[in-house]
Structure 1
Amino acid sequence: MPNNPLNSKMMPLTSIKSGDLFELLPDVAGLTVKIVNVCFVGHPGSSDWVLIDAGMPHSKELIVEAAASRFGDNVPPNAILLTHGHFDHVGSAIELAEYWEVPVYAHALELPYLIGEKHYPYPDTKVEGGILAKLSALFPNTPIDLRPHIHPLSEDGSVPGLPDWRWIATPGHTEGHVSFFRDSDRAMIAGDAFVTVRQDELYQVLTQHQELSGPPRYFTPDWDAARVSVRRLAELKPRAVITGHGRPMEGEALEHELENLAQHFDHIARPSHGKSVR
């Protein structure tokens, strides 16, 4: 497997919650890796679990240690699932896939960015937002090469290793962005389709101040598709969610705020200016 090109660029961003392992449901937990969340789905002590997203570069050891604390030493996941291929969600995917010797799955439209063929659009430094939007030019958009471990998700919506879950196409933030949903208890892992922190505001990121918001502005090229995706997820009326950034949410507060975001997306989430705003 090739070296990880993302490792050549240091990202000093972090938050006060970095390193926290939190449980949303008995079999759904999250780990904050600097500014992004990865998810562990599976009951503690079980050998039947999956990892969703792979955090920031240089995070392999942190993720492996958290997995060991939840499932035991040397208990690899059945698979690594990716909501999308941005650097903060695949930062340690190469190292983890190689270490655990497990397959990695993503939507077919994400694969060109995960086999080294295609770059994501450059971040929009002129988009409406806070200081992180202005600094986003420092973030890498270099594609990684996950061959031979990478595979496309099945078109039927089934999720490898998670028979009770389904994946839902939620493009906008990226072409092939997906979220994961379990109908039985309406649990959701949303990736960056929406987030629970203003990801372009430095203070909110550092403190992880909870605020349900649209996808990160500086990395979202298609706001029409993003609006449709949020409405699609709101229609499912999730009861508990882990998003790619921010703290988990659940209950009536989640349902109310997500419905409000869906109904007023252009006012709340869509920036007033930027290269991606038509």
Structure 2
Amino acid sequence: MKLKQLTRHVWAGYVYWPLPVMIWIVEDRDGLTLVDGGLPSMWNPMHEAIRTTFRGRSLNRILLTHGHSDHVGMLYALTESLQLPVTAHEIEIPFLTGERSYTTLRQGSKNKDIKPFAPNILQPLDMKGNYGGLVPFHTPGHCLGHVAYYHPEDNILLAGDLFTAFFDKLRRPIEKFTANMEESLQSGAIVKRLQPRLTACAHCGVVKDASIQYINLVKNN
């Protein structure tokens, strides 16, 4: 896993599989917040990064944009080691416990159900809360409980799979993994509301001025 500092408080960790898969580590005065759990192979380098890059600062919380397999992979080992809860939108929690199936959301969907988490590991997101400087916004479409996280101080949006990014250009989420593309594109209007300087996508990178690019993205779809 490679680490890259995106803003004063926000770091990205990413691997290639075969597309880039990105997680985020956010620093605040009290410690660290992890957004998304990526792939299983990311846990050992993540653990090492906490010890070295982040000088042993405590990991205080885990937030999810959503529960697809490439967003929770290392959390099974992490929660066994550090015994931290995983926080997600309440709509997403039944998919994380195995009570609901991602394959039912869209005919022909390529999403695979994940290994269920124990219910006591999961806790619902407070949509009016602030998590280490991050403010959550419900952005459904890619899945029912998808959430994007905005860091007002750094003016960066951690967009999960709300979008993808190719060569610094904003693109739609991947079609075959998205439950409702029209709804997802509507949710993408959050960039017009927030006007983030940077928008970090879980797949393929970070774009600037997403609010401007979003207008063209919708116009061309």
What TM-score results when the alignment is normalised by the length of structure 1?
0.71
Count of aligned positions: 218
CA RMSD of aligned residues (A): 2.4
CA contact (8 A) 2:36 2:65 kept: yes
SS in 2 for 1:181: strand
C-alpha distance in 2 between matches for 1:168 and 1:124: 23
1:218 pairs, out of 172, 176, 180, with 176
1:85 aligns with 2:56: no
CA change 1:123–1:37 in 2 (3 A) is farther
Q: Which has the higher strand share?
A: 2
CA contact (8 A) 1:80 1:97 kept: no
1:260 pairs, out of 201, 216, 220, with 216
User: Which protein is bigger by CA-based radius of gyration?
Assistant: 1
Shift of residue 47, structure 1, vs aligned partner? 5.3
CA change 1:146–1:212 in 2 (3 A) is farther
1:180-195 correspondence runs (5 A)? 180-195=149-164
Q: Which residue is equivalent to 1:129? A: none
Q: Give per-residue Cα distances to partners, 1:134-179, cap 9 Å, x unaligned.
A: xx85x63234214322100014x2133x2x3210010000000000
C-alpha distance in 2 between matches for 1:115 and 1:108: 12
1:179 aligns with 2:148: yes
C-alpha distance in 2 between matches for 1:59 and 1:244: 14
**In the alignment, residue 151 of structure 1 is paired with which amino acid?**
Q
1:1-278 correspondence runs (5 A)? 19-34=1-16, 35-42=20-27, 48-73=31-56, 75-121=57-103, 137=110, 140-155=112-127, 157-160=128-131, 162=132, 164-197=133-166, 209-250=167-208, 252=209, 254-261=210-217, 263-264=218-219, 267-268=220-221
What TM-score results when the alignment is normalised by the length of structure 2?
0.88
Shift of residue 221, structure 1, vs aligned partner? 1.4
C-alpha distance in 2 between matches for 1:112 and 1:228: 24
**In the alignment, residue 165 of structure 2 is paired with which amino acid?**
T
CA change 1:66–1:259 in 2 (3 A) is farther
C-alpha distance in 1 between matches for 2:23 and 2:54: 15
CA contact (8 A) 1:212 1:257 kept: yes
Shift of residue 184, structure 1, vs aligned partner? 3.6
Q: Which runs of 5+ in 2 are unaligned?
A: none
Shift of residue 23, structure 1, vs aligned partner? 0.9
C-alpha distance in 2 between matches for 1:67 and 1:249: 26
CA change 1:83–1:183 in 2 (3 A) is same
CA contact (8 A) 1:195 1:244 kept: yes
CA contact (8 A) 1:153 1:159 kept: no
What percent of counterpart residues are identical?
29
SS in 1 for 2:184: helix
CA change 1:123–1:112 in 2 (3 A) is closer
